Structure 1
Amino acid sequence: MRILKTHVLLRFVNSYIVDSPQPANISYLWNFGSLLALCLGIQIVTGAFLAMHYQPNVDLAFNSVEHIMRDVNNGWIVRYTHANVASFFFIFVYSHVARGLYYGSYKSPRVLVWSIGVIILILMIAIAFLGYVLPYGQMSLWGATVITNLLSAIPVFGQDIVELIWGGFSVSNATLNRFFSLHYLLPFLLAALAIAHMIALHTEGSNNPNGVTSNGDRYAMHPYFIFKDLVTFFAFFLVLSIIVFYYPNLLGHSDNYIPADPMVTPASIVPEWYLLPFYAILRSIPNKLLGVVAMFGSLVIFLILPLVDVSRIRGNQFRPAMKLAFWFFVVDFFILMWIGSQHPNSPYVEIGQIATAFYFSWFLVIIPVIGIIENSLFDLTLSEGAILTDEAENNK
């Protein structure tokens, strides 16, 4: 039985990592998937070590994090690695999504791969938010208070749901215990979804920059693409090492080094940088319920891409109008990120509202309109080509 299990495991590794055929023309932009798998592994390992010393108690949480940093051997390395790899996780996932958008990786037959990926992104954001609360600094407490309070906008049951999450009438011990349990357990669900994502990808194979079938021009994963992945692995470890050892708080918020105080409200309550675009969308809509719907909708809307992109051309390599629209979307995303970090005053509110309107219009209007126009031009070109062919035949 043991030999059979080993044989099955070796076949799995060989099929997915060694002999898996990959398009010959994929670039380093396809390395983000392996980098995300590496980040997930680092987060699970470092998180397990942090959990050995962390105390999910409102009176002890902040001090337990300081204990990890000061008293545990190399604890500061583990903690800073865990915190900074979370940021790299989102840098890589946003780059991975952008690559998928640019090259049309969401189109059939990879709809399932894309859908699982969107679910992974939503779960990642939830796990990151839970983890941000655990150090129980000022921004942790007030971030948790503001974000969980958003659910009170749900008609009838909203306040009951908030109190259920809190385990009381405010963020308290019960809240911290629940957040810690979920933050520890959900990454394993994330790992299961990542495996499902990989299995679905293995079924149809990777997309490629040209967006056309390349079954006749493929190389084995090992050694060609394994060594390509190692290049980005070493580059990632180099940058991560520089940040952890020299600039560990570069991507964090200074207010989280102040112990949580429910009697003192910070001047500006903001989430981590990677959640700022969605926070900006939330604040750009005056109505609380519509703001919450828009914030969650800004993530779920990625699921409709296979339906709204009706163009027969896959990817933006040969679509100049869609290529321009893509870069407008990227700029809009960064504008939302910047607006999310600012105080909700004029003119930032108005800029956020314009950027939010463009964000949703890109999915619901711009993509389908460009697709319809491209299909019409494509049909017109085919018709003209057929007419010219007929005329040439008649002249003969």
Structure 2
Amino acid sequence: MSFAWAKQYEPKTPLTKWLDDKLPLPRLVYNAVGAGYPVPRNLNYMWNFGVLAGFCLMIQIVTGVVLAMHYAANQAVAFGTVEHIMRNVNWGWALRYAHANGASFFFIVVYLHIFRGLFYSSYKAPREMIWLLGVVIFLLMMATAFMGYVLPWGQMSFWGAQVITGLFSAIPLVGEPLQVWLLGGFAPDNAALNRFFSLHFLLPFVIAGVVILHIWALHIPGSSNPSGVEVKSESDTVPFHPYYTAKDGFGLGVFLILFAVMVFFLPNALGHPDNYIEANPLSTPAHIVPEWYFWPFYAILRAFTGDLTIPFTGIVLIPAKLLGVIAMFGSILLWFFLPWLDKSPVRSGHYRPLFNKFFWFGLIPTMAVLFYCGGAPAEEPFVVLSQIATAYYFLHFLVVLPIVSQIEVPKPLPFSITEAVLGKDATAEARTGTVDAGTAGTAPDGSLQPAE
């Protein structure tokens, strides 16, 4: 986003002037994360998680590249090479634990990033493309994490690959050939391990490329903010550096402390003990479960226990397995349509009382139940709880959100970001004299009006 008052980059030495003419990399950095990038002055710590997610991606790429130097994607030795890394490679245990826990922390900060986007409606115009690219990043992360979970070739790695790739067999006609094509055979073995290793190594760089597009898309409309009001004047903004580099630095410090605690004191707390048993196709674990960050979607998958049939005929229209697969992928794909499902002109959840209630007392408890049930055994009462939570999850996005966005009467919005921070500024309001959908309240009859 271009602001007339944004500080311009000025090279001061002959070398920087020459570089600015030939390859303006310093100017790019200055305008992207420096004093040349004005951002809303009221961003809170929920806006830290984008930077933290980028840092997690860097950890995963660096540790992953080093680990790949010592790993062999062969089912005969894969499990042994992981133990070799842990016991014989200098600092190999730290690299492996940092990589394994880095994946969990990556998903933690991304889930919090998504949570912030949902509450503050960061998917609304003019930021739809930022949100859509974010969903693409999340899908790529899930694919990368699944294939990485297979590489240690422990019991949960093998059976997780067997179960997840087996989902494709539910697709009519092409399902089983597709599963064989993915695995390179009829069960996870050398071919699958080589394919998953190659893709697991490649996809983080693809994610990095999409992240660049994500940031590029962000810089066109500029950052959103907790009030949901667009920038009106220079007083609404501060330079990204030093204000938010300092704030992000503090958040990064807290993150690194928690990350170090996990790596050095609780390295296996987020993993599964069965993965320290070498893969055995003849011994099925009592409870096959994916990594914790897949649990809500695994719960949705398992919530479908009956076929969809034509009443009184017994003719099966859609088998239960296929219903579960459709629902699992649909639970993420529907996020692509949020910018058009939520029609409220107000962005921030702080000014949407009805939306606020459904968010905190509907969606958040539902996600908590799905997380818990996804890691629990496939037995009662967890199956019924999964079914109830799954039903509300889709109901919330497809029915509740569109209806609420049409009928609720939002609270009056502040006239500007400065007013949201410092209080009402009648002089600035009279001088500007403009109102738009992002900075207006809503009258009882549904029309937009300035905040009183």
Of 373, 381, 386, the residue aligned with 1:339 is: 373
How many angstroms apart in 2 are the aligned matches of 1:354 and 1:118? 25
Letter in 2 for 1:65: V
How many angstroms apart in 1 are the aligned matches of 2:125 and 2:393? 24
User: Residue deviations 1:304-336, cap 9 Å, x none?
Assistant: 111110112112111111111111211111100
Matched residues, percent identical?
A: 50
Give the corresponding residue for 1:126.
143
Letter in 2 for 1:312: P
Shift of 1:341: 1.0
Q: Which moved more, 1:337-346 or 1:25-34?
A: 337-346
Q: Which SS does the other structure have where 2:220 is aligned?
A: helix
How many angstroms apart in 1 are the aligned matches of 2:171 and 2:446? 52
When the two structures are superposed, what TM-score results if normalisation uses the length of structure 1?
A: 0.94
How many angstroms apart in 1 are the aligned matches of 2:20 and 2:407? 56
CA contact (8 A) 1:108 1:306 kept: yes
Of 8, 15, 28, the residue aligned with 1:12 is: 28
CA contact (8 A) 2:86 2:92 kept: yes
How many angstroms apart in 2 are the aligned matches of 1:383 and 1:4? 49
How many angstroms apart in 2 are the aligned matches of 1:382 and 1:144? 52
Letter in 2 for 1:330: I
Q: Which moved more, 1:261-270 or 1:313-322?
A: 313-322
How many angstroms apart in 2 are the aligned matches of 1:258 and 1:44? 26
Q: Which SS does the other structure have where 1:219 is aligned?
A: strand
Residue 231 in structure 1 maps to residue 295 in structure 2 = no
Residue 179 in structure 1 maps to residue 192 in structure 2 = no
Letter in 1 for 2:217: A
Give the alignment of 1:1-396 within 5 angstroms.
Answer: 3=19, 7-18=23-34, 19-216=36-233, 217-286=236-305, 287-327=320-360, 328-374=362-408, 378=442, 380-381=444-445
The answer for unaligned runs of 5 or more in structure 1 is 386-396
How many angstroms apart in 2 are the aligned matches of 1:22 and 1:383? 29
Identify the structure with the greater helix proportion.
1
CA contact (8 A) 1:23 1:215 kept: no
CA contact (8 A) 1:55 1:61 kept: yes
CA contact (8 A) 1:312 1:375 kept: no
How many angstroms apart in 2 are the aligned matches of 1:212 and 1:368? 21
How many angstroms apart in 2 are the aligned matches of 1:351 and 1:143? 23
CA contact (8 A) 1:270 1:341 kept: yes
Q: Which moved more, 1:319-328 or 1:80-89?
A: 319-328
CA contact (8 A) 1:276 1:336 kept: yes
The 1:277/1:382 distance shift into structure 2, 3 A limit, reads closer
RMSD: 1.8
Q: Answer 1 or 2: higher relative contact order, Cα 8 Å, separation at least 6.
A: 1
CA contact (8 A) 2:165 2:179 kept: yes
Give the corresponding residue for 2:311.
none
User: Residue deviations 1:228-281, cap 9 Å, x none?
Assistant: 000011111111111111110011111101110000000000000000000000
How many angstroms apart in 1 are the aligned matches of 2:188 and 2:211? 32
Give the corresponding residue for 1:394.
none
The 1:384/1:26 distance shift into structure 2, 3 A limit, reads closer
The answer for unaligned runs of 5 or more in structure 2 is 1-17, 306-319, 412-441
CA contact (8 A) 1:277 1:340 kept: yes
Q: Which moved more, 1:44-53 or 1:374-383?
A: 374-383
Letter in 1 for 2:323: L
How many angstroms apart in 1 are the aligned matches of 2:447 and 2:256? 54
How many angstroms apart in 1 are the aligned matches of 2:251 and 2:47? 11
Q: Which SS does the other structure have where 2:43 is aligned?
A: coil
User: Residue deviations 1:22-71, cap 9 Å, x none?
Assistant: 10000011000000000001100000000000010111111000000000
How many angstroms apart in 1 are the aligned matches of 2:278 and 2:195? 20
Q: How many residues align structurally? A: 385
